[in-house]
Amino acid sequence: MKKYCWFLLSLFLISCASQRQKAVCSEIEYRLENLGHSPDQRAFVEEELRQCQEQQKEYAKSDVLTNKAKKSIYELY
């Protein structure tokens, strides 16, 4: 039972991380597009955005497990 609780807790935290990561990447993309940067700063922000998007893809893969348990109301009835 204890292992099951830890498993559910880890799935919950992963799903929270996935949702948070979307906002983080959006904010980085906004900074890249709307703020003036020197060339070296721009390269750093582009790299930061690339890493953020890679992490978002990884979280999305693990989030598929939690999304399978969630169904829309149309699928339920």
Query: For residues 62 and 18, is the Cβ–Cβ distance under 8 A?
Result: yes
36 is written with which tokens? Answer: 């003036």
- Cβ atoms within 10 Å of 16's Cβ, excluding its own: 13
Percent of the chain with pLDDT over 90: 9
44 is written with which tokens? Answer: 């750093």
Q: What is the pTM of this model?
A: 0.55
Cα distance between residue 8 and residue 10, in whole Å? 5
Encode pLDDT of 62-76 as tens digits: 665 555 555 555 665
